[in-house]
Chains A and B, each alone.
Chain A
Amino acid sequence: MSVTRREFLRYSGLAGVSLSLGHLSVTDVSRASAQGGSGLAPPPVAEFTSWKDLYRERLTWDRVVKGTHQVNCWYQRGCTFNVFVKDGMVMREEQASTYPQTNSSVPDFNPRGCQKGCSYSDRMYDGSRLRHPLKRVGERGEGKWKRVSWEEAMDDIADHVIDTLRKDGPRSVYWDMGGGMTNGAAMVGLVRTIRLLDMTVLDIDSEVGDHHPGAAVTCGKITFSSSADDLFYSDLILIWGGNPAYTQIPNAHFINEARYKGAQVVAITPDLNASGIHADLWAPVNVGSDAALGLAMCHVIVNEGLHDTDFVREQTDLPFLVDPETQRFLRGSDFEAGGADDAFYFFDLESQEIREVSRTTLELGDHRPALEGRYEVETLGGRRTVTPVFELLRAHLANYAPEAAAEITGTPVKLIRSLARKIAKARSATILTQSNFSKFYHGLEMERVQFLVMALCGQFGKKGSGVNGFPMIAIDGNFPVGVAPPPMPDLGPFIVKLWKGMGPKEDETEEMFYLRSMRELHESGNFISSALLFHVHGGLAPLTGASRRWDPELPRDTEEYLAEAFDKGWQLRPPVPKIFFSSGGNILRRVRGYDRLHEGFLPKLDLMVTVDWHMSQTALHSDYVLPAAGWYERDDIVWATPLAPFTQATTKAVEPYAGSKTDWEIHYRLMESIQKRAVARKQVDFFDHAGDIRSLENVFDDFSYRGFVSADDPEPLLKASLYITSNLGGVTWEELKEKGYARHTGLGRSPMNITNATDIEEHETITANTWHTDKKIVWPTLTRRMQFFIDQEFYLELGEQLPIHKDNPAIGGDYPLQMTGGHTRWSIHGSWRDHKLMLDLQRGEPVMYMARGDAAARGVEDGERVRVGNDLGDFEVIVKISAAVHPGQVIVYHAWEPYQFPGKKSHQVTTGTPFNPIQMAGGYYHLQQFMTVGQPGMNDRGTRVEVTKLGAPRAG
């Protein structure tokens, strides 16, 4: 406070009082001089009788702009809102509901939105919103903070970064972007920071359990999905591994609409969840037994001859010849020294000869591959008997007769048979699955089996059919802008240069080319699996490495598999962390076994910085907390999914609240400080990971495209991104901003998009993978088919060469209840978890759902507090008794912050989360690590626990 201000504020009855406004100003400029008590006549004022007068103005506002939520609501994402602004504040939002109907035969997308998005303005302004940069002044986690200026914070952080770059190397600086990724300015900010400083980004996909390992193994890719309106063409919708009534709120109406049209909806879930109650049929299945259920269905399909032989022959590896002795494919290298390891064979029933499989097309021509039989072949190793994978599969399926499987799954035998027949006979069946099975220890097998069921029945490529992988589609112009060198306006030539000399090799498809590019990029080590980071450097190894403790069938220790995977280059070794930027993530809430990070990870860090809009659990333990702007306080472009194939704009309805800043500006200011401090300290050089010297002297100039883009106006980036985007119909930033969204017109040149493998037509719903089924373009796997037989060494060692059911191990110990979870209806990850409006719709605090009988057996009544524990830890929670919960199951939906529980311990202290070594496999064309794919996953589903009654819940 300045001396002048102090004098001004001094009260003296004689001197009178001056008018002093700071947060408010006089609207009429002619009256502005009245401030300060100029002696002008008081302005006329409208009559005021009571506060009710104000309500005449209620439905007026200053302006309406388009906005969306830059949150990771993934499967349901993409809803444009009208955002109403009054006096520089957002007053409310309304679903814009202007999405077009794809064509007149399918329902439209309106209105898109969920209750979280509809209350975002309230969340944006709620009490937890951070206002200014905070610096820790007590011990980490003690909760003592003081406000600092942005400059002070940035300069200090910059000094730490410079020291670390020079001393420990750039890779020891980690960025965790959590789910905060955009396709616009925030992304460019991160990409440029990382590339210019050669830092590390956490790849969290397998840590959170979204990595779809079964899709990766079977299809060679995980990112593919049809549009939600494509469901209208389905006559059988299987909700299996998801709960769209909770997690796809804006899309769920398509399921009901398909049902009105005659589709049958079947929910395969342990609990009769919110999606199940709207289904025609509920197929109960014991927790963790979905692979057994699927294999039993395959048993029925194959034994009753219901399989689609044409599809199986053309699209899958099931006709490929295998030596049953060695459990290896017959390969080119079996016939000649130096022969190809990726040449495979089938027996042609037409020519009665063994033929090499085409590497370039799925078209069979005159050939008719055998699915059964035994064939003698002369190989370099002598005479061998080979047989199609299908024959091995048929024998394998003998273990899964419905009667036997029912013992595992708890699903009635009759129901298993009828489900199998339904899928086989459906005109167009689809499985709505989400990232659920990835969160099981044996989830890879569960997913593989889903693909197997549907492949046997030919349920891919037809409108309304398929299995959703990980859905994603984005503009293809954003990444090139992120990596473009300055100056900015030369993007055209740069793009040409970027892709120059790059393209599919002779026998590569476009998909394969992009996937190879991703793998090559990954080898540079900028992306590191967070699961592996926390295993190696985070103190989580006693959990993630303890697989054999719970899974005694495992032949070797996890560490042994991991050492092999590291040594062979199948997995990347995480560098030692020194600085951790949590910018969109929240590891101390998110990571299973997060409590171990307090001891194992945080003490290793010289600096932890959190960028967030609220005081998350991670922010609470950081050294600096930097307040992020809200989603209605920034201009940006948000990526989409094919489910709702519209890229969205979020526009700056109002200025960032208090002292908060956009991600772009935070990166900008950090880079500015790094250059400034490095030059001031005369410490401008550092060695990058390759040992090459880099300079910090102009690093900010390069970051800002030599001043082309400013801190508070990222619009040039957004304009440039759209200018070079090829898959959004040529829409400009101005147009996108005005309308709020634009429909994708193609997949463009993007590794993430390309694996949807389909053409996008303006008036057609999107059906994934039609490039394979219609155009006969090969799949990006080793066999170039949907691959169900994997002869990689870990698969052979673990007996998983064919899809298999393995019992969920008793992770956590010998306890009777199995804890599951799922994405909640009332929050998108942690973003609304402690939002009052959402908590008011639940019990106001963390809650666990429990079956009536299980609660009664323990004397627990609804609303009572219990202790839930196992060999690893315990937590307290209140119980909601639910008739919908499977006996033996308890459900804690995800993303509660630990501080919301008594004792500040969440359910994640009980999750054992052991790695399954099968997911470390590599060295096998499509089993290779790259971003989001091919890394060992963390898991929690089916954690064993016991529940003990504690009594009445706490008050308040």
Chain B
Amino acid sequence: MRDSRGGLAEARSGAYRLFAEAMIYPDAGFKEWVQDGELVESLLGALSDISPALCEGSGSWDALRDAGVEDELEIEYTRLFEAGPKGPLCPLYGGLYGGIRMKVMEEAARFYNHFGLTLSGTPQELSDHLTTELEFMHYLAYREAEAQREGVDAGPYRRGQRDFIERHPGSWIPTLCIRLDEVEAAPFYAATLHGLRALLEWDSERLQREEPRSS
């Protein structure tokens, strides 16, 4: 584990960014990145700096080196996350896993705004998409680390992460993982998202403890 709070936040920021990156559509460069082992090595590096326990079950992490042959990973990504009758099997949008979608999307956007961010990019992704949410976690953790380094109050960032995890990725990633198992998702995605789930749980539990909510 990194020995300072700033170091921990930095490692978490890196881990969330890598998880976000692992969940983009797999183009040729992406598959090379996976096959060269860069993704898994970076991810395990970050996770071990967060908590070595998050790296356990090293067998399943090996799946993050396997980009399949030919178009396999693209086809699997499309099957799981992109398209299908009634929508894809395992959509990557939090608002589709409970609550009223539009309210979930709106609240996520208001989180972003509160912390000085706005949705952008071409094409723009929606506020409750997994990669947007993870990018936000990456940002908050980054700012937390920065604040700690500079001796500025990092409390708002920490409380932001606490509530954002609880109300957004932490509320639906576990269900997504169950669905992935049900539809026998390719090991790459099953391992990535189970790993993410473990990080979110770890992080959430820690943040709740360290930043208890005043009743």
Q: Does B199 touch A at the CB level, under 8 Å?
A: no
Known contacts A25-B117, A125-B126: does B83 contact A145 (CB below 8 Å)?
Answer: yes
9-residue interface stretch from A16-24, A336-344, A853-861? A16-24
Stretch at the interface among A129-137, A219-227, A795-803: A129-137
Indicate whether A92 reaches chain B with its CB closer than 8 angstroms: yes
Having A9-B21, A21-B120, A26-B116, one finds 20 other A-B pairs with CB under 8 Å, namely: A1-B21, A1-B32, A2-B29, A11-B43, A23-B131, A25-B117, A25-B120, A48-B157, A50-B159, A57-B110, A88-B119, A89-B127, A126-B101, A127-B87, A143-B79, A146-B71, A146-B75, A614-B87, A615-B84, A899-B85
Shortest CB–CB separation between residue B145 and chain A, in angstroms? 8
B120 touches A49 (CB 8 A): no
Which residues of chain B are within 8 angstroms of A6 by Cβ–Cβ distance?
29, 33, 38
Instruction: Tell whether, in the assembled complex, residue B29 and residue A11 are in contact, meaning their CB atoms are under 8 Å apart.
Output: no
Interface 0/1 of A1-17, CB less than 8 Å to B: 11101100111110011
| Option from B42, B88, B121 in Cβ contact (under 8 Å) with A22 | B121
Distance in Å: Cβ of A277 to nearest Cβ of chain B: 30
B187 within 8 A of A: no
Task: Enumerate A549-601 residues with CB–CB distance to B below 8 Å.
Answer: none
Given the contacts A6-B33, A134-B83, A24 and B106 also touching, CB distance less than 8 Å: no
- Among residues of B, the one whose C-beta sits closest to the C-beta of A904 is B85
Residue of A nearest to B164 (CB): A51
Q: List 15 A-B contacts (CB under 8 A).
A: A1-B21, A11-B46, A13-B45, A17-B145, A21-B117, A22-B121, A41-B150, A45-B157, A88-B124, A125-B101, A126-B96, A127-B91, A143-B79, A658-B125, A899-B86
Residue of A1, A22, A26, A122 near B29 (CB, 8 A) is: A1
Size of the B side of the interface (Cβ < 8 Å), in residues, is 89
Q: Does B136 contact A (CB under 8 A)?
A: yes
User: What does the 1/0 interface line of A912-934 toward B look like (CB < 8 Å)?
Assistant: 00000000000000000000000
> CA separation between A199 and B145, bound complex, in Å?
62
Which residue of chain A has its CB nearest to the CB of B160? Answer: A48
Q: Is A659 at the interface (CB under 8 A from chain B)? A: yes
B74 CB within 8 Å of chain A: yes
Q: What distance in Å separates the Cβ of A645 from its nearest Cβ neighbour in chain B?
A: 32
Which stretch from B9-17, B57-65, B190-198 is at the chain A interface? B9-17
A514 to B102 Cα, complex, angstroms: 47
Q: Which residues of B contact A24 (CB under 8 A)?
A: 112, 117-121, 132, 135-136, 139
Q: If A19-B142, A42-B150 touch, does A57 touch B156 (CB 8 Å cutoff)?
A: no
Tell yes or no: B115 within 8 A of A by CB.
Answer: yes
Of all A-B residue pairs in the complex, the 9 with the closest CB atoms, nearest first, are A127-B87, A1-B29, A11-B42, A128-B87, A25-B120, A899-B85, A48-B156, A17-B14, A127-B91
Once A657-B123, A834-B86 are accepted as A-B contacts, the answer to whether A146 and B74 lie under 8 Å apart by CB is yes
Q: Is B202 an interface residue (CB 8 A)?
A: no
> Do A23 and B125 contact each other (CB < 8 Å), given the known contacts A54-B111, A126-B96, A131-B82?
yes
Residue in A2, A22, A42, A130 whose CB lies within 8 Å of B83: A130
Known A-B contacts A1-B27, A122-B102; the reply to A144 vs B75 at CB < 8 A is yes
Most A CB atoms within 10 A — which of B2, B14, B136?
B14
Residues of A within 8 A of B207 (CB): none
Interface assignment of B203: CB less than 8 Å from any CB of chain A: no
Are B142 and A143 neighbours in the complex by a CB distance under 8 Å? Answer: no
Say whether A87 contacts B127, CB under 8 Å. yes
**Which range holds the interface residue count of chain A?**
35 or more
Inter-chain contacts of B21 with A (CB < 8 A): 1, 9
Which residues of chain B have C-beta atoms less than 8 A from A143's C-beta? 79, 84
- Chain A residues within 8 Å of B102, by CB: 91-92, 121-122, 125
Contacts of A610-663 to chain B: CB distance below 8 A: 614-615, 617, 620, 625, 655-659
B146 lies within 8 A of chain A by Cβ:
yes
The answer to whether the Cβ of B177 comes within 8 Å of any Cβ in the partner chain is no
From 145 to 169 in chain B, residues with beta carbon under 8 angstroms from any chain A beta carbon are 145-147, 150, 152, 155-157, 159-160, 163-164, 167
- A9–B46 CA distance with the chains assembled, in angstroms: 11
Indicate if the CB atoms of A125 and B121 lie closer than 8 Å.
Answer: no
Residue of A11, A31, A46, A144 touching B45 (CB-CB under 8 A): A11
Chain A, range 69-94, C-beta contacts under 8 Å to B: 86-89, 91-92
- In the assembled complex, the Cα of A49 lies from the Cα of B32 at a distance in Å of 43
CB proximity of A644 to chain B, nearest CB, Å: 27
Given A23-B124, A23-B129, do A89 and B27 touch, yes or no (CB 8 Å)? no
- A1:B33 contact, CB within 8 angstroms: yes
Which A residues are in CB contact (< 8 Å) with B119? 23-24, 87-89
Determine whether B66 belongs to the interface, using a CB cutoff of 8 Å to chain A. Answer: no
A48 touches B114 (CB 8 A): yes
> Is B124 within 8 A of A655, CB to CB?
yes
Q: Taking CB as reference atom, which chain A residue is nearest B83?
A: A615
Contact check, A897 vs B113: say whether CB atoms are below 8 A apart. no
Checking B18, B96, B157 against A127 with a beta-carbon cut-off of 8 angstroms, the contacting residue is B96
